[in-house]
Amino acid sequence: MSNILNKTFDTFNQTIPFSKIKTSDFPEAIKTEIDHTRAEIDAITDTTEAPSFENTVEALEYTGLKLDVVTSTFFNLNSAETNEEMQKLAQEISPLLSEFSNDVRLNTELFKRVKAVYEQKDTLTLNAEQHKLLDKQYKSFARNGANLNEEQKTVLRSIDKELSQLGLKFGEHVLADTNSYELHITDEKDLSGLPEGIIEAAKHEAESSGKDGWIFTLNYPSYIPFMTYADNRELRKKLSFAFGSKAFHGDDFDNKEIIRKIINLRHQRAQLLGYDSHAHYVLEERMARSPKEVNAFLKELLDKAKPAAEREFTQLSAFAKELDQIDQLEKWDSTYYSEKLKQKLFNLDDEKLKPYFKLENVINGVFEIAGELYGLKFEPAQDIDKYHADVQTYKVFDESGKFIAVFYADFHPRKGKRNGAWMTVYRQQYRRNNEEVRPHISIVCNFTKPTPTKPSLLTFNEVTTLFHEFGHALHGMLADTTYPGLSGTNVYWDFVELPSQIFENWCYEKEALEKFATHYESGEMIPMEYVEKIRESASFLEGMQTLRQLSFGLLDMSYHGVDPKAINDIKSHESEVFKQTDLYPDNPETCMSTSFSHIFHGGYSSGYYSYKWAEVLDADAFELFKEKGIFDREVAKSFRNNILSKGGTEDPMELYKRFRGKEPEPDALLRRAGLIDK
C-alpha cells in the first residue's frame, strides 16, 4: 500500500493531512523521499552539460522539497505531540538524515560542479539573491567537509551521526524529568498566596491523575505561578530544586556525560574542518563574526548592567528582610519577592492584569495589529486538518484578498509537548517555474488551560511570549523570496530574533493594548492607570534580568569557544562561569546546563548571545516606530520590505541599514532598559 506521506496531499494548499497519518508511516516515507532526492541529485551530477548556475546551483536548491515537508512534520510532532513510539523512531530517523546530509555534502562530483560555478561567480550575471544562494551553497559544502580526504570524511560522518543522537537523547531526558515530577499538596494551608485560578488548575491536574488535593508540575503555567505567589518558602525551594535539577540526578536520565560528549565532539568536528573551536565555526556565519566579538559584546553589556543589577539585588534583599526577616535571598525567593516589590512600587499585580488578557482576545489583538501594520487578515479555517484538538488553524490573506499563508496555533501544555514556546515551519515559501508556493507556519506555546469556570487568562509575560512567537511567524508568513533555503527565518541566528523581539514592543503601547485588553467578564477596557504602570514597570529589575541572560550567553561561549577537554565536571564549570554574574548563592543540588536545551538540543550552540544582540537591533529599530508612530504604514512597509520579506537573501546588516538608515546603537537597548540616561 502506498504511503500517504509520499503523495501530493489532496487538501487546501497541500496542508498536512494529520488525521490520516500514522506514526509508523514516517520511517518508510522518509526513506522513500531520501531515495527520490538522491535521484534528483544524480540527475544533476550525471548531466554532460557544463556546470551553470541554473543546472547545478538552482537545480540543487529545489531538490528534496517533499523530503523537507515530511521530516519537518515528523520533528515538529516530536516536539509538540510526541509519544514513546515517536521518540524511538526519532533515534532511528535522525542518523538516517544525518548520513544522507553527509552523502550530499561529501558528494565529490556534486561539489566539483558547485565549485566550478562558484569560481566563475564574478563573471556571471546574477542578482543579489542568486549571489547569496551560490555563496551559501558553496559554503555549505566547504563548511561540512567537502574539502576533506576520504578518511577525514568518514570521521566527520561518524561525529555527525553521534551528535544527532546525543541531541535527541538530551531533549528526551529533560522531557522525561519534567513529566515525571509533581508536587502533590494535600494540606490547603500550603496553597496560601496562590491565586484562585492557579489553585483551580492544580485541582484539575490532580483530578485528571485520579488524586485528591492539588498537583503542581514543572510545566511553566504551573511552575511560574507557584514560584511567584506561594507563601510557603520550603515548598518554593522544593519545586525550585526539582526544576533546577532536571537531568542532574545521576540516573538513566542524567545529561552530564551527554554534555561532555557533545562539546568534545563539536570541538573535534570544528578542528577537523580547520576551525579553532565550535564557536569559531558557527560564528563565521553570523553578524557577530568571532568569539572575540561576542565576548566583547557580552562584556560591554555586563559592565554596564552589573552595577544596576547589584543595586536592584540590594533593594530586593532589603525588601525581603523588611517584609519577612529573610537574611539571605535565595533563588527560590527571586520571583516571589520581585512580584511583591513590583506590587508595592507600581501597585501592579499580574493577577489584576490577567482578567484583561483572555487568550482569545489577545490572539484577536495580535491579528488586528498585524492587520494595521501589514494589511493581513486571519480567517479561521475548519477545512485544515490538525494534529491535536487544541490546535487552531487559519488562512491568512492580504488586503487585496491574495492568499499569504496557512497559520497553526497550539497554545496549551500536555504530556507529549515540550516546555517553552517556539515558531516552526511545515512548508517554506518559494517560487519555481512561475508558481508561488506559500508557507505553512506554526507557533507552539504552553499557556494556562481554560478551567470549567475560567477561560485561559494570560499573565503579561505570557502576552509578550505570544507576541514574540507571532513576530517569528510574521517573518515566515511574509517571506517573498525565490529560493526556499533563503526564505523566512532562514537567516543568521543573531538576526532571526529581530522580528520576534521588536513585535513585543507593541504590548507596552496604549494604542495597541486598547485593541485587545478588555475584561473577560465585563468587557471594560483595561484602565489607563494599569497601562501606565505596565510601561513604568517595563524596566523593573531589568539589570538583574540582563545579567541572567548574559550568564547564559557566557556559559554557552565557555563550552564552545575553547577546547573543552579540560571540562570534566559540568557543575563545577558552570559555577565558575556564573561567578561573574551570580547574585544569589550557588546550590550544589542544581545545574542549569543539564536542561540547557537551547544549546544542547536546539540550534543555539555558540548563539545564545543572539537574544541580546537582537534586543539591540529591536530597541534601535523600534525607536523609529516611536518617532513616526507605532502604526505608521510607511515605517511598517519599510520593515516588511527590507526585513520581513527578504529572509536570508542579503547580508543582514545591509538589510538593517536600508530600513534604519544607519547601523544599530547598543545604547538604544540600555536606554530602553533604564540602565543609562535617555
The model's pLDDT over 275-320, given as tens digits with 9 standing for 90+, comes to: 999 999 999 999 999 999 999 999 999 998 999 999 999 999 999 9
**pLDDT category of residue 535 using cuts at 50, 70 and 90:** confident
The distance of Cα 458 from the centroid of its chain, to the nearest Å, equals: 20
What tens digit of pLDDT does each residue of 224-243 get?
Answer: 999 999 999 999 999 999 99
Q: Which three cell numbers stand for residue 396?
A: 491568512
Q: Distance (Å, rounded) from C-alpha 106 to C-alpha 146?
A: 5
The pTM (predicted TM-score) of the whole model is 0.85
Amino acid sitting at position 346: F
**pLDDT category of residue 670 using cuts at 50, 70 and 90:** confident
**pLDDT category of residue 358 using cuts at 50, 70 and 90:** very high
- The predicted pLDDT at position 1 comes to 47
What tens digit of pLDDT does each residue of 376-405 get?
Answer: 999 999 999 999 999 999 999 999 999 999
- The predicted pLDDT at position 421 comes to 95
443 φ, ψ (degrees, to nearest 5): -120, 140
Per the residue annotation, which of 81, 339, 469, 542 is the catalytic one? Answer: 469
Q: Which three cell numbers stand for residue 391?
A: 490546535
- The predicted pLDDT at position 237 comes to 98
**Residue located via cell numbers 496555533:** 409
- The predicted pLDDT at position 678 comes to 65
- 238: how many CB neighbours lie within 10 A of its CB? 14
Q: Distance (Å, rounded) from C-alpha 284 to C-alpha 678?
A: 34
Residue 118 burial (CB < 10 Å; 0-12/13-18/19+)? buried
**pLDDT category of residue 528 using cuts at 50, 70 and 90:** confident
Residue 244 near residue 585, CB atoms below 8 Å: no
Tell me the pLDDT of the chain averaged across its residues: 95
Residue 431 parent element (H or E): strand 430-432
Q: Which three cell numbers stand for residue 493?
A: 541566528
Provide mean pLDDT across the span 68-95.
96
378 φ, ψ (degrees, to nearest 5): -115, 120
Provide mean pLDDT across the span 424-447.
97
The CATH number corresponding to 4-147 among 1.20.1050.40, 1.20.1260.10, 3.20.20.60, 3.50.50.60 equals: 1.20.1050.40
Q: Distance (Å, rounded) from C-alpha 197 to C-alpha 188?
A: 15
pLDDT at 440 exceeding the cut of 70: yes
Q: Distance (Å, rounded) from C-alpha 476 to C-alpha 645?
A: 8
Amino acid sitting at position 283: L
- The predicted pLDDT at position 493 comes to 86
What tens digit of pLDDT does each residue of 180-221 get?
Answer: 999 999 999 999 999 998 999 999 999 999 999 999 999 998
What tens digit of pLDDT does each residue of 98-149 get?
Answer: 999 989 999 999 999 999 999 999 999 999 999 999 999 999 999 999 999 9
What tens digit of pLDDT does each residue of 372-382 get?
Answer: 999 999 999 99
The domain ranges of the chain are: 4-147, 181-244, 355-541+611-672
Closest CA to 600 of 636, 564, 649: 564
Q: Where are the alpha helices (DSSP H) in 53-149?
A: 59-61, 65-80, 84-105, 108-118, 128-142
Closest CA to 170 of 283, 72, 110, 260: 260
pLDDT at 447 exceeding the cut of 60: yes
Closest CA to 385 of 351, 408, 401: 408
> What's the topology of domain 355-541+611-672?
Neurolysin; domain 3 (1.10.1370)
Does the active-site annotation cover 99?
no
Provide mean pLDDT across the span 35-48.
97
**pLDDT category of residue 351 using cuts at 50, 70 and 90:** confident
